[in-house]
Structure formats: C-alpha cells, structure tokens
Amino acid sequence: MTMHKSVDVSVDAMLEDLRTLVEIESPSRDRDALRASATAVAAVIESRLGGQAVLVESAAGPHVHWSAGGDPAVLILGHHDTVFPLGTLERRPFKVADGQATGPGVFDMLGGLVQAIHGLAALDDRSGVEILVTADEEVGSHASRALIEERALACGAVLVFEGAAEGGALKTGRKGCGTFEVSVAGRASHAGLEPAAGVNALIEAAHQVLDIAALGRPEIGTTVTPTVASAGTLDNVVPAAATVIVDVRVESADEKERIEAAFAALAPHLDEAEITVQGAVGRPPMPESAAAGLFAVAQRLLPGIEGRAVGGGSDGNFTAALGVPTLDGLGAVGGGAHADHEYLVIGAMAERAHLVTGLVRAIQQA
C-alpha cells in the first residue's frame, strides 16, 4: 500500500486557509473570540468539503462538527482554541518566509486542521468521515470530552491532528496528565510580636512541596512537578494561606491511581494546619497499543515515518482510553508549540495531506 501521489493538493490553497484561521485569534475561554474562530473553521470546511458544518454550543465556546454521512467510520479530531492572548497577532502576524509559516497557532494546531481538510477534499468518497474541532482542548476539554468520546465510539477510529513530534514523527503514545492544587490553611499573626501565635502556611507548604516531589518515579515515566506556589500578604505577617500547583504525568493506569491516592492522603506537618487537595489525572494515558494498527497503515503509506511516545496530552488520550484505535501527531511538521518561535514547515504540508487521504481510504476499505 502506498499513497496516491496523483492526488491534487494545493499548498498555496492550504496556506490561504491557514492564514484565514490564524488571523482570527482564538484564545481559550474567550467565548466571543472562539465563536468567530469556530465560524471561520466551519466556513473553511464547507468551502473545501461541501455539506454543513454545525456549531455545537458549550460552556467553553462552540465546537465544530461536520459529517459526510453514511455509517460513521473515522473521526478527524482537532481543536481551534489556542494558548495566545488577544493581541498576539499584532505583535507576531502570520508570515510565510524561508520555507516556514509562522504566527500564533500555526503548529498547535491550525496547520493540522488545514492539512486534514485538504487531504479529505482529495477523496472521491468521504462516506463515514466525521470532523470534530473543539473549543477547549488547551484548558482540559471539560466541555468537549463527552462529545469527543461519543463520536469516537460511534466512528471506531480516530485520527488526531495535533502537531507532529520532532522530525515529523507520529505520536503513538502519550502520558496521562493532570493538575493538582494543594491549599494550605494556617493562621495569621504578627511576625515580630508573636510569630508563635500563628500557623505558618508557607512553612507547611514547603513541607508539602517536598512530600509531593517525592511521589515522582521518573524511572517508570511518572513525573510530579510543583510548578506554581503562592503565600503570604505582607512581610510582617505570618502567612495564613498558601497554594501549590502541581503538574503530573503518568504512563499507566496503575500510576494514575497511585498518584491520585497519594494526593488524597497528604497530611499536614504543623499542628492546626489544614490541607485541601483538588484535581486529578484528568487525561488518562494513551497506550501505544491503541495506535499500533493505524500506525502500521501509516508506515505502509509513508515508508520511513517514525512513531514516538510523548509526554504531552491531547484529546487522543480520551479516545484511546476507550479502546478506540487512535493515531496522533498527524498535523503540522514544525515546532515551538505555545512559544513565540512557533513554526510550520511548508514543504511537509502536501505529504501530510496525502497521508490523511491514504489513511482515511484505508479505514474505509477495512
């Protein structure tokens, strides 16, 4: 099995659509901006594929859903929200130069959406194909998870258009990831006159940070990283409250359960201090077994393409955890996700669009 190189895919047309999407800023949680973005995504889908792309309302903003009709067979999954605040485009406008496209969201993940749409446009038969582009992936997918899982189960195969791994590799596994917030309640007092009358929440938080960091098991892929801490009000007041935010990544369901139980069991070191914990490993691990079959097809279509397990999470974690075959990292080749140097490699766009065409055709014929 090889890709059909005769497929007509225009890089210029893809760049035109990419410019359209990038120049409508879409920061997560900004519902007005996300509505404009969703409308633009729907218009691009309809112009290239026909039919009607429906805006699905949610608390986070509108998702975009399109179906070619027929028995559901494959879900094309992406998101249109980005991490960049309004105004980023003015400072870092969309630009094409030196073989790269740059601008907020080109790699994560507007470029992948455009490649997917154009790859599907090259298919004579799109029956069974669905597209779901969500509005809240960058902030946890709380308002889209149920819909993602519903459509994944209905379709039976999922292709995720997050940016490729380093060197253009596909993403065949992902760690489960989550965020925990540990809040410490102490008691304020004058730091000079009667420090012993207080319960120092900052000192308690320091104890908790050490306990939390010790939960990591990097030798088996579990990282537990305190990332943000806050405490205190004035330099002469014993802190009455403190907060610690922790990033967690795990490779197995057993480690997810161990970590969640360990956070629930955190106990104070200081008398009268109180600990409250919120959070969970919200995205379950994506095992490499979930991608094995689809990755084998991709290797036949594009010999030499590599697969890689990565630490970051995506909505593919949810679909893989359901047992639905899921292949990720099919989007843009490039780098700099969430950073000012974000870029997309223009020379890889046509090949990735062809890969979409071949994968969907293979799924339809299976």
Residues belonging to the active site = 81, 137
The dihedral region occupied by 266, where left means phi > 0, alpha psi between -120 and 50, and beta the remainder, is beta
Identify any residues that bridge with 315 across adjacent strands, giving them in sequence order. Answer: none
Q: Which two tokens stand for residue 163?
A: 């940016």
Looking at residue 186, its amino acid is G
Distance CA 178, CA 227 (A): 12
- Residue in the block written with tokens 């990735």: 352
Q: How far is CA 333 from CA 70, 168, 169, 199, 229, in A?
A: 31, 5, 8, 52, 35
In three-state form (DSSP H/G/I as H, E/B as E, the rest C), the secondary structure along 2-49 is CCCCCCCCCHHHHHHHHHHHHCCCCECCCHHHHHHHHHHHHHHHHHHH
Q: What value does the CA radius of gyration of the chain take, rounded to a whole number of Å? A: 23
H/E run at residue 170: strand 170-174
What is the bridge-based pairing of β-strands 307-310 and 170-174?
parallel
Distance CA 111, CA 17 (A): 9
Distance CA 153, CA 132 (A): 13
The dihedral sign for the CA sequence 13, 15, 18, 24: negative
